[in-house]
Amino acid sequence: MNAGTRLGVVALSLLVMAALVATGCAKKEVGPSKGQNVDTLVVAMGADARSLDPHATNDQPSARVMKLVYNRLMYQTEDLKIENDLVESYNAVSSTVFEFKLRPNVKFHNGETLSSNDVKFTFERMIANKAPAAFLVAALDKVEVIDALNFRMILKYPFGPFVTHLAHTATSIVNEKAVTAGGADYGRNPVGTGPFKFVEWKAGDSITLAAYDAYHLGAPKAKTIRFRFIPEDANRAIALETGEADIVYDVGPNDYKNLDAIPEIDAKRIAGLTTFYMGFNMAKKPFDDVRVRRAINLALDVDTATRVAFEGFAVPAKGPLAPTVQFADTSLPGYGYDPAKAKQLLAEAGYANGFKTSIWTNNNPIRVKFAEIFQEQLRQVGIECAIEIMEFAPYLDRTALGEHDMFMLGWVAVTGDADYGMYSLFHSTQFGDAGNRTFYKNPKVDELLDKGRVSVNPEDRRAAYAEAQKLVYEDAPWVFLAFREDLNATRNYVKGFVPHAAGHHNLYKVYNE
């Protein structure tokens, strides 16, 4: 090979590299910085969706997109009220039989008209596919089609929150023809009745939706919505600051303070549905003694710890349910901070000299911070406490097996209903993996939670949950820690954005002015 050829080889290699670089760079800038692209709403969130097939996943990023692509039978408003969505009317024939009438002339994005058969197909598929959120409709026995618009849902047993569950994004109504046509890749080609139709998914980068002009409630305000996935909290905030994004979900506490100070940005904080708690293993000594559990509640300055750990973006918890959850009892007083009384209770329980124990947590910085603060406060009442930090998967496995003493966890009452917020955590049939990692067992609480679950009368349910919360509060299987706030922010030219406590926000009427 002579010098000329060699030079040619080198030049060619460089050219190939340059060509590789140029691939994909040919497209025009679609960045929606202020005023340039008013019709496109750019929404930044922290992670990519997993699938847009409601029966394949139950994760938050996917739910956020599916909320716009699909409709549900029922709709949960931003103040967590349940209204009709695809349903025009419904009535409870008995405690286990509901009759529904669909809105007429609702069209799927593929042109098919919504009918009772789609509803039947949806729920049968959800159960047959063992969808991650199939537990929401565990009470459902079958769907009977009466005619094109009327159908009956028959339950195996009475289930109070059933209608609420029909508003969850995982119960989105799919179209049989579209699902069959999509095959194994349906999750990437979703077809719903929602205000936006699916356009494009760039894995790890973005999902684009376009306005569905034939939407049954009228065309949405924005022409295009682009969900961008920006994993770093700080970068999401920067994207909003520079105008690359119009709306940012899940703003970090630090960034929130910065964004709030910028006049062109509207930072929005709302009460969420998440409860943070430190649980006791009640199957182990000394936590089987209610005096010890109450003593620890009294020994901890939860208000200060919450303020520090959440940087001010959470309210201290007084009971098990966040105030936003339906039937939450906000009149519970909370234990307060009283180390002297804590010592006295410990002495009564026979632990005047304290004891040795441990707090387990996964490597979540907020939980670790709580644990560190509590370690010191417990020391002051004589309790020597080690902190063990572990990976999430083994952490869940080992706390489910009951190997722990005390542990830090959170629970999101995603449906906004007290049943979801309490049953798994405090019912004695739910020990371990199902959610009751404190191994709390109170027959009266079991009875009340069962009553709240099967009753269809809201007032009966409210009474049952109020009493259950009071008992749980008195039995103190947890140290009630905090209810986290959800932080979101938009540019001030974004109109109509009202955040939803469950984290999947409706963008139907949101637009750039």
Partner 1 sequence: MHKYILRRVLLLIPVMLGVSFVVFTIMFFTPGDPAKIMLGERAPAEEVALLRTQMGLDDPFHIQFFNFVKNAVQGDLGRSLVTKRPVAAEIWSRFPATLQLSAAAVLIAILMGIPIGIISATKQYSAFDMISMVIALLGVSMPNFWQGMMMILLFSITFRVLPSSGYGTLGHLIMPAATIGTSAAAVITRMTRSSMLEVVRQDYIRTARAKGLSERVVINRHALKNALIPIVTVIGLQFGSLLGGAVLTESIFSWPGVGRFMVDAIRTKDYPSVQGGVLMLALTFSIVNLAVDILYAYIDPRIKAQYK
Closer CB to partner 1, 242 or 331, in the complex: 242
Q: Closer to partner 1 at the Cβ: 244 or 405?
A: 244
Q: Does 242 bind partner 1 (CB under 8 A)?
A: yes
Q: How far is the CB of 294 from partner 1 (least distance, A)?
A: 30
Determine if the peptide bond prior to 286 is cis (ω within 30°): yes
CA–CA distance, 208 with 196 (Å, rounded to integer): 10
Q: Which is nearer to partner 1, 132 or 382 (CB)?
A: 132
* Segment interacting with partner 1 (CB under 8 A) among 6-14, 157-165, 309-317, 337-345: 6-14
Kind of pairing between the strands at 40-45 and 140-145: unpaired
Q: Minimum distance between the CB of residue 59 and partner 1, rounded to whole angstroms? A: 8
Q: How far is the CB of 179 from partner 1 (least distance, A)?
A: 14
Half-sphere exposure in the Cβ direction for 38 (13 Å, CA): 7
Binders in 362-401 for partner 1, by CB under 8 A: 393-394, 396-397
**What are the tokens at 403?**
């190997």
Whole-angstrom CA distances from 454 to 81, 156, 159, 446, 449 are 19, 11, 4, 12, 9
Per CB under 8 A, which of residues 271..300 are in contact with partner 1? none
C-beta of residue 292 within 8 angstroms of C-beta of residue 346: yes
How far apart are the C-alpha atoms of 134 and 156, rounded to whole Å?
15
- 181-220 mask for partner 1 (x: CB under 8 A)? ----x-xx-------------xxxxx--------------
The residue (of 161 and 319) whose beta carbon lies closer to partner 1 is: 161
336 contributes a contact to partner 1 by CB under 8 A: no
**Interface stretch with partner 1, choices 29-37, 67-75, 246-254, 304-312 (CB under 8 A):** 29-37
Dihedral of the CA atoms 175, 503, 414, 231 (nearest 10)? 90
Q: How far is the CB of 18 from partner 1 (least distance, A)?
A: 6
Q: Closest CB to partner 1 among 21 and 261?
A: 21
Residue 277 to residue 369: CA distance in whole angstroms: 13
Residue 187 to residues 86, 165, 239, Cα–Cα distance (Å): 22, 22, 28
CB atoms within 10 A of CB 25: 7
| Residue selected from 37, 40, 58, 169 as contacting partner 1 according to rule CB under 8 A | 58
Cα separation, 421 vs 414, whole angstroms: 8
425, 411 contact by CB (below 8 A): yes
Stretch that binds partner 1, among 52-60, 71-79, 209-217, 352-360 (CB under 8 A): 52-60
Least distance (Å) between residue 204 CB and partner 1: 3
Instruction: Tell me how far, at minimum, the Cβ of 149 lies from partner 1, in Å.
Output: 33
Pick the binder of partner 1 from 75, 135, 355, 431 (CB under 8 A). Answer: 135
Nearer to partner 1 (CB atom), residue 29 or residue 376 = 29
Do residues 250 and 64 make contact, with C-beta atoms less than 8 angstroms apart?
Answer: no
> Per rule CB under 8 A, is residue 434 in the interface with partner 1?
yes
Among 153, 178, 179, 239, binds partner 1 (CB under 8 A): 239
HSE of 164, CA atoms in CB hemisphere, 13 A: 18
Q: Which of 113, 235, 258, 358 binds partner 1 (CB under 8 A)?
A: 235
Pairing status of strand 478-491 against strand 247-248 = antiparallel
CB 497 within 8 A of CB 281: no
Cα separation, 263 vs 219, in Å, equals 31
Q: Which residues lie near partner 1 (CB under 8 A)? A: 1, 3, 6, 9, 14, 17-18, 20-21, 23-25, 27-31, 47-48, 50-51, 56-58, 130, 132, 135, 185, 187-188, 202-206, 228-232, 234-235, 238-239, 241-242, 244, 393-394, 396-397, 433-434
